Every structure is written in C-alpha cells, then in structure tokens.
Amino acid sequence: MSFNIAGKTAIITGAANGIGLSIARHFADHGANVVCADMDEAGLLDQWGPNPDEDGEEAGNTRIFAGDLREKLTIANLLSATIDAFERVDILVNASRQVALADPLDADDKSITTLLNQNLMTSLRLGQLVAKRMILQGEELQDDDKDTPLGTIINLSSIASTRTLPGLMGYSIASAAVDQMTRSLAVALAPHRIRVNAVSFASLMSASLQNTIRENPESLEEILEGTPLGRIAPASEITEAVQFLASEGSSFMTGHIMQVDGGRSLLDAVGNPSH
C-alpha cells in the first residue's frame, strides 16, 4: 500500500499557521508541489518566504498565495496561480478553519454566519472549482489512461459536529455541515474519479492549546480525562492521516469522515449519564 504523494500538486488552505501549516510542511517534505494559501500574508512570508522570481533557477516545490478565500474572485485567482506554477492540481486540503464562542440566544450574534462562510462555504466553493479543473485534466488523458484517478479533496472537520455545547453552537453547526458536504460531494464526484474525504479531530497540542494550559493547568487534566487514550496528539498524527487520504493507499475510500481523536468522540457528550 503506497502513501506516496511525491510529484502531486496540492493546494492547502490555512497554511500560514496551525494545522494547515503542519500539513503543508509535511506534504512539501514528502515531495509534493504545495501552494500554501492564507489571508495572513505576513504569516505566509514568515513561514515560507517570498515566491521565487520568474527568472529564478531554483524555484522549489512551494508557492504562497495570500488572499481572502471567502471571495469568489480570490478562489479563482488561487487556482490560476496554482496552474501557472505547477500546470495542474491533484490534491486540495481545506485546512482553513475558525473557532468562535457565541451566545446561542443572541439573535444579533453574527458568529454563526461567519463560521458557516469561513468553514463551510469557502471549502465548498474551492472544492467545486478545483473539481472542475481536475475533470478538465481528465479529459486531456489518453484513452489508455481513462481509468486514472483524477484527484482527491480532503476537508478538515471536528468532533464538535456531533457534540452539544451551547457556546460552540456555531462551530458545531459548521462542522456538521462540512461532514455532510464531504459526503454529498463524494457521491457527486465519484463518477469523475475524484474522491472526497474528511479528517475529524479533537484537541491537538498546538501553540494555542499550550498557551491555554499554561494559563489554566486544570484544562490539561480535563482534556486527558475526556480522552480514552489519555494523551493529546501532536499535529503530525493529523498530517499523516491527511497524507493517507491524499494517496493511492486510500483509493477505495470516499465520503469517509476519519476520526482522529484518541477515542474522545466515543464518550457521552454530557458526562456520566443517569441511566
């Protein structure tokens, strides 16, 4: 079973920091051509440096693209920049996510709309556009290559999609929508030999979580008590799951929501039940 992604071209959103950055670095280290997209241009430049000049002899296998992907024109420009740099796209990883607390009874709170736009609609629009490009690439194949897989799309989700916590209602709704979008696109794109899957995860030992633990040491104990495997995963355990879904090793998987959460989603969401 091969998890090889070398020579493939991947667009990875949210690549200026956090899990998106980890996935982009992992893919680049494993030989993929990677377009790192984020609205944080300063963060992209800090992590990846500027794109090479057109006359640069050592262009490397990474490019950065800064822009607000909630805008349709920006999404189109991202795809154009990818094709200009690497001539094709084989993998899309929608890793740009936003988490926000909200009052579920506040009718004026715009956080649910914001989260749906950021976590759902951006991924949907980009997935649709990239899929059309993958289909076009398939039309250019020779007759004896007509069974070749055309591409794969991986969305990042959260176990919040099945949990009930009022303050995270917007994030939970958006995560559940991402899961259903993944299944729906998987069925729609299967005839075109494009696979769509998602990785759903819980707490990662990120810089933000480390800061939270320093400020509130009790939070570490709470997370560990709620995780059957009794530890918090490093980002690498998510990036490797994403690589698996992007590779031919998962060639018969589509519409799957892979949970990488240490068993946390297996526990009762409201604590110890009374029955």
Measured distance CA(230)–CA(264) in Å, rounded: 9
Cross-strand bridge partners of residue 246: none
Domain ranges of the chain: 9-204+234-262
Q: Can you give 186-248 as a three-state secondary structure string?
A: HHHHHHHCEEEEEEEECCECCHHHHHHHHHCCHHHHHHHHCCCCCCCECCHHHHHHHHHHHCH
Provide the pLDDT for residue 145.
74
40-68 as b/e, with b when 16 or more CB fall inside 10 Å?
eeebbeebbeebeeeeeeeeebbbbbbbe
Tens digit of each residue's pLDDT (9 = 90 or more) over 118-137: 999 999 999 999 999 999 99
Q: What is the mean pLDDT of residues 180-196?
A: 98
* Mean of the per-residue pLDDT values of the chain: 90
**What kind of fold does domain 9-204+234-262 have according to CATH?**
Rossmann fold (3.40.50)
Q: Say if residue 269's pLDDT is above 80.
A: no
Instruction: Tell me the pLDDT band of 274, cut-offs 50, 70 and 90.
Output: very low
**Four-residue CA torsion sign, 210, 212, 215, 218:** negative
Place of tokens 């991986």: 154
CA quadruple 266, 269, 270, 275: dihedral sign: negative
The answer on pLDDT for 54 being more than 80 is no
User: How far is residue 266 from each of residues 39, 231, 254, measured CA to CA in Å?
Assistant: 35, 15, 23
**Terminal C-alpha separation, the chain:** 45
3-state secondary structure of 11: strand
In the chain, the percentage of residues whose pLDDT exceeds 90 is 67
**pLDDT tens digits, 226-257:** 899 999 988 889 999 999 999 999 999 999 99
Token pair, residue 117, equals: 């736009």
DSSP reduced 3-state for 35:
strand
157 versus 98: which is more confidently predicted? 157
Instruction: Indicate the pLDDT class of residue 58, thresholds 50, 70 and 90.
Output: low
pTM: 0.92
Number of continuous H segments (helices) and E segments (strands) in the chain: 9, 7
Per-residue confidence (pLDDT) for residue 107, from 0 to 100:
67
CB of 5 within 8 A of CB of 245?
no
pLDDT of residue 185: 98
| Higher pLDDT pick, 213 / 271 | 213
